[in-house]
Chains A and B, each alone.
Chain A
Amino acid sequence: MILEQLVEPGIARFVFRHFPVRGEAADFAAQVVECAAEQGGFWPLHDRFMAGDETLFTEAGLRRQITFEGLSYPEFVTCMNERRMAPLVDASKAEGEARGVAGTPSVFVNDRRVDPTFEAIDEAVKEAAGQTAQ
Protein backbone atom coordinates (compact mmCIF):
# COMPACT_ATOMS: atom_id res chain seq x y z
CA MET A 1 0.00 0.00 0.00
CA ILE A 2 2.74 2.47 0.95
CA LEU A 3 4.62 1.54 -2.17
CA GLU A 4 1.73 1.67 -4.59
CA GLN A 5 -0.02 4.72 -3.22
CA LEU A 6 2.77 6.89 -1.87
CA VAL A 7 6.13 5.86 -3.35
CA GLU A 8 5.24 4.95 -6.94
CA PRO A 9 3.39 8.23 -7.58
CA GLY A 10 6.51 10.10 -6.44
CA ILE A 11 4.97 11.58 -3.29
CA ALA A 12 7.38 9.88 -0.91
CA ARG A 13 10.62 7.97 -0.67
CA PHE A 14 10.82 5.00 1.62
CA VAL A 15 13.79 4.14 3.80
CA PHE A 16 14.18 0.86 5.63
CA ARG A 17 16.44 0.87 8.67
CA HIS A 18 17.41 -2.13 10.72
CA PHE A 19 16.24 -2.37 14.28
CA PRO A 20 16.85 -6.02 15.20
CA VAL A 21 15.15 -6.74 18.50
CA ARG A 22 14.24 -10.37 18.02
CA GLY A 23 17.59 -11.91 18.88
CA GLU A 24 20.46 -13.33 16.90
CA ALA A 25 18.34 -14.48 13.98
CA ALA A 26 17.11 -10.94 13.37
CA ASP A 27 20.65 -9.61 13.60
CA PHE A 28 21.87 -12.29 11.20
CA ALA A 29 19.07 -11.46 8.75
CA ALA A 30 19.95 -7.77 8.87
CA GLN A 31 23.56 -8.56 8.00
CA VAL A 32 22.48 -10.87 5.18
CA VAL A 33 20.42 -8.07 3.67
CA GLU A 34 23.25 -5.56 4.03
CA CYS A 35 25.84 -7.91 2.53
CA ALA A 36 23.47 -8.43 -0.40
CA ALA A 37 23.08 -4.65 -0.59
CA GLU A 38 26.80 -4.37 -1.25
CA GLN A 39 26.00 -5.92 -4.62
CA GLY A 40 22.68 -4.15 -5.20
CA GLY A 41 20.51 -6.86 -3.65
CA PHE A 42 19.00 -5.07 -0.67
CA TRP A 43 15.35 -5.08 -1.73
CA PRO A 44 15.03 -8.67 -3.03
CA LEU A 45 16.52 -10.05 0.19
CA HIS A 46 14.50 -7.64 2.30
CA ASP A 47 11.34 -8.86 0.60
CA ARG A 48 12.21 -12.53 1.07
CA PHE A 49 12.80 -12.06 4.79
CA MET A 50 9.64 -9.99 5.14
CA ALA A 51 7.74 -12.78 3.42
CA GLY A 52 8.99 -15.12 6.14
CA ASP A 53 11.27 -17.21 3.94
CA GLU A 54 12.96 -19.38 6.57
CA THR A 55 15.16 -21.10 3.99
CA LEU A 56 17.34 -18.00 4.20
CA PHE A 57 18.50 -19.22 7.59
CA THR A 58 20.09 -22.24 5.92
CA GLU A 59 23.27 -22.29 3.91
CA ALA A 60 21.61 -23.94 0.92
CA GLY A 61 18.72 -21.49 0.93
CA LEU A 62 21.00 -18.50 1.16
CA ARG A 63 23.21 -19.75 -1.63
CA ARG A 64 20.19 -20.37 -3.84
CA GLN A 65 18.67 -16.94 -3.23
CA ILE A 66 21.90 -14.98 -3.56
CA THR A 67 22.69 -16.79 -6.80
CA PHE A 68 19.13 -16.38 -8.07
CA GLU A 69 19.45 -12.63 -7.63
CA GLY A 70 22.57 -12.68 -9.79
CA LEU A 71 24.87 -11.80 -6.89
CA SER A 72 28.28 -13.29 -6.20
CA TYR A 73 27.97 -15.88 -3.45
CA PRO A 74 31.72 -15.92 -2.66
CA GLU A 75 31.68 -12.13 -2.23
CA PHE A 76 28.60 -12.43 -0.07
CA VAL A 77 30.25 -15.09 2.12
CA THR A 78 33.34 -12.96 2.54
CA CYS A 79 31.19 -10.05 3.65
CA MET A 80 29.42 -12.25 6.19
CA ASN A 81 32.63 -13.83 7.47
CA GLU A 82 34.17 -10.44 8.06
CA ARG A 83 31.00 -9.21 9.74
CA ARG A 84 31.50 -6.23 7.48
CA MET A 85 27.96 -4.95 7.90
CA ALA A 86 27.65 -5.46 11.66
CA PRO A 87 28.72 -1.87 12.44
CA LEU A 88 26.14 -0.54 9.99
CA VAL A 89 23.35 -2.60 11.56
CA ASP A 90 24.46 -1.53 15.04
CA ALA A 91 24.58 2.11 13.94
CA SER A 92 21.10 1.86 12.48
CA LYS A 93 19.75 0.46 15.73
CA ALA A 94 21.58 3.06 17.82
CA GLU A 95 20.17 5.80 15.64
CA GLY A 96 16.68 4.41 16.12
CA GLU A 97 17.17 4.29 19.88
CA ALA A 98 18.33 7.89 19.81
CA ARG A 99 15.04 8.77 18.12
CA GLY A 100 13.08 6.95 20.79
CA VAL A 101 12.43 3.73 18.91
CA ALA A 102 11.89 0.83 21.28
CA GLY A 103 9.94 -1.64 19.18
CA THR A 104 9.15 -2.53 15.61
CA PRO A 105 7.83 -1.41 13.30
CA SER A 106 8.35 2.27 14.08
CA VAL A 107 7.65 4.83 11.39
CA PHE A 108 8.62 8.45 10.88
CA VAL A 109 7.25 10.77 8.22
CA ASN A 110 9.58 13.71 7.67
CA ASP A 111 10.98 13.14 11.16
CA ARG A 112 7.56 13.05 12.78
CA ARG A 113 6.70 9.76 14.43
CA VAL A 114 3.42 8.25 13.31
CA ASP A 115 1.48 5.09 14.05
CA PRO A 116 2.69 2.23 11.86
CA THR A 117 -0.67 1.86 10.14
CA PHE A 118 -1.25 2.71 6.50
CA GLU A 119 -4.01 5.17 7.39
CA ALA A 120 -1.78 7.13 9.76
CA ILE A 121 1.17 7.10 7.38
CA ASP A 122 -1.00 8.10 4.42
CA GLU A 123 -2.47 11.01 6.34
CA ALA A 124 0.93 12.18 7.57
CA VAL A 125 2.50 11.91 4.11
CA LYS A 126 -0.29 13.88 2.44
CA GLU A 127 -0.17 16.51 5.13
CA ALA A 128 3.63 16.80 4.77
CA ALA A 129 3.37 16.90 0.97
CA GLY A 130 0.80 19.68 1.24
CA GLN A 131 3.06 21.67 3.50
CA THR A 132 5.98 21.22 1.14
CA ALA A 133 3.91 22.38 -1.83
CA GLN A 134 2.87 25.60 -0.07
Chain B
Amino acid sequence: MRLTLVLATLLAAIGLLFSACGSGGEPADEDVSTGTVRSERADREASIMQQEQGADQPAEAGADSGVIAFGHREGLPFARNVVGDPDAPVLIVEYSDFQ
Protein backbone atom coordinates (compact mmCIF):
# COMPACT_ATOMS: atom_id res chain seq x y z
CA MET B 1 0.00 0.00 0.00
CA ARG B 2 2.72 2.38 1.03
CA LEU B 3 4.80 1.36 -1.98
CA THR B 4 1.86 2.16 -4.26
CA LEU B 5 1.55 5.61 -2.71
CA VAL B 6 5.26 6.30 -3.16
CA LEU B 7 5.11 5.16 -6.80
CA ALA B 8 2.10 7.33 -7.51
CA THR B 9 3.81 10.37 -5.99
CA LEU B 10 6.94 9.72 -8.03
CA LEU B 11 4.98 9.39 -11.27
CA ALA B 12 3.11 12.62 -10.56
CA ALA B 13 6.37 14.47 -9.91
CA ILE B 14 7.96 13.14 -13.09
CA GLY B 15 4.87 14.11 -15.08
CA LEU B 16 5.02 17.64 -13.68
CA LEU B 17 8.67 18.06 -14.59
CA PHE B 18 8.21 16.73 -18.10
CA SER B 19 5.30 19.00 -18.75
CA ALA B 20 7.50 21.93 -17.72
CA CYS B 21 10.51 21.12 -19.84
CA GLY B 22 9.21 18.55 -22.26
CA SER B 23 9.93 17.83 -25.90
CA GLY B 24 12.18 20.50 -27.32
CA GLY B 25 10.82 23.25 -25.15
CA GLU B 26 7.20 22.72 -26.12
CA PRO B 27 4.80 24.82 -24.11
CA ALA B 28 3.23 23.06 -21.17
CA ASP B 29 -0.42 22.35 -20.51
CA GLU B 30 -3.07 24.54 -22.00
CA ASP B 31 -3.76 27.62 -19.98
CA VAL B 32 -7.08 27.63 -18.17
CA SER B 33 -6.90 31.12 -16.75
CA THR B 34 -10.00 32.89 -15.64
CA GLY B 35 -10.85 36.45 -16.53
CA THR B 36 -9.64 37.56 -13.12
CA VAL B 37 -6.27 35.94 -13.58
CA ARG B 38 -5.96 37.52 -17.02
CA SER B 39 -6.66 40.89 -15.43
CA GLU B 40 -3.91 40.27 -12.88
CA ARG B 41 -1.58 39.33 -15.70
CA ALA B 42 -2.41 42.53 -17.52
CA ASP B 43 -1.68 44.51 -14.35
CA ARG B 44 1.66 42.72 -13.94
CA GLU B 45 2.61 43.34 -17.56
CA ALA B 46 1.69 47.00 -17.18
CA SER B 47 3.80 47.19 -14.02
CA ILE B 48 6.77 45.59 -15.76
CA MET B 49 6.48 47.91 -18.73
CA GLN B 50 6.19 50.84 -16.31
CA GLN B 51 9.49 49.87 -14.72
CA GLU B 52 11.13 50.41 -18.09
CA GLN B 53 9.77 53.91 -18.50
CA GLY B 54 11.36 57.23 -17.63
CA ALA B 55 14.10 57.67 -15.07
CA ASP B 56 11.72 59.45 -12.71
CA GLN B 57 9.80 56.25 -12.07
CA PRO B 58 11.61 54.09 -9.55
CA ALA B 59 11.08 50.36 -9.81
CA GLU B 60 8.99 48.70 -7.17
CA ALA B 61 10.91 46.88 -4.50
CA GLY B 62 10.57 43.12 -4.59
CA ALA B 63 12.20 39.89 -5.64
CA ASP B 64 12.51 41.14 -9.20
CA SER B 65 14.45 44.28 -8.32
CA GLY B 66 17.48 45.23 -6.24
CA VAL B 67 21.23 45.27 -6.73
CA ILE B 68 23.05 42.53 -8.61
CA ALA B 69 25.15 40.68 -6.05
CA PHE B 70 27.81 39.03 -8.20
CA GLY B 71 29.02 38.47 -11.72
CA HIS B 72 30.02 41.05 -14.27
CA ARG B 73 27.03 43.24 -13.38
CA GLU B 74 27.84 43.22 -9.66
CA GLY B 75 26.73 46.35 -7.86
CA LEU B 76 24.41 47.54 -10.60
CA PRO B 77 20.78 48.21 -9.73
CA PHE B 78 18.26 46.16 -11.64
CA ALA B 79 14.51 45.93 -12.00
CA ARG B 80 13.61 42.71 -13.74
CA ASN B 81 14.79 43.20 -17.34
CA VAL B 82 16.27 46.65 -16.72
CA VAL B 83 19.82 47.19 -15.50
CA GLY B 84 21.57 50.41 -14.59
CA ASP B 85 21.14 53.60 -12.64
CA PRO B 86 17.44 54.58 -12.52
CA ASP B 87 18.57 58.21 -12.89
CA ALA B 88 20.62 57.59 -16.03
CA PRO B 89 19.59 60.08 -18.72
CA VAL B 90 19.59 57.63 -21.63
CA LEU B 91 17.59 54.46 -22.18
CA ILE B 92 18.90 51.68 -24.41
CA VAL B 93 16.30 49.11 -25.42
CA GLU B 94 17.37 45.92 -27.14
CA TYR B 95 14.95 43.48 -28.72
CA SER B 96 16.56 40.09 -29.00
CA ASP B 97 16.06 36.39 -28.67
CA PHE B 98 17.99 33.37 -27.51
CA GLN B 99 19.29 30.84 -29.98
Q: CA A101 – CA B55 in complex, angstroms?
A: 24
Most chain B CB within 10 A, of A19, A24, A80, A101, is at A80
> Number of contact residues on B: which range applies?
35 or more
The number of chain A residues with a CB under 8 A from chain B is 72
B85 — nearest CB in chain A belongs to which residue?
Answer: A10
Known: A18-B95, A106-B96. 17 other contacts (CB 8 A): A12-B84, A12-B91, A13-B83, A14-B84, A15-B52, A15-B82, A20-B98, A24-B25, A29-B98, A30-B97, A43-B73, A44-B71, A57-B24, A57-B25, A104-B97, A129-B89, A132-B90
Contacting pair B21 A62 (CB below 8 A): yes
Contacting pair B31 A86 (CB below 8 A): yes
| Total residue contacts A-B, CB cutoff 8 A | 195
Contacting pair B63 A40 (CB below 8 A): yes
Residues of B within 8 A of A (CB): 16-21, 24-29, 31, 38, 41-42, 44-45, 48-49, 52, 55, 63-66, 68, 71-73, 76, 78, 80-99
Which one of A3, A15, A19, A121 contacts B97 once the chains associate, using CB atoms below 8 Å?
A: A19
Q: CA A110 – CA B92 in complex, angstroms?
A: 6
Contacting pair B78 A50 (CB below 8 A): no
Q: CA A95 – CA B93 in complex, angstroms?
A: 12
Most chain A CB within 10 A, of B24, B29, B81, B95, is at B95
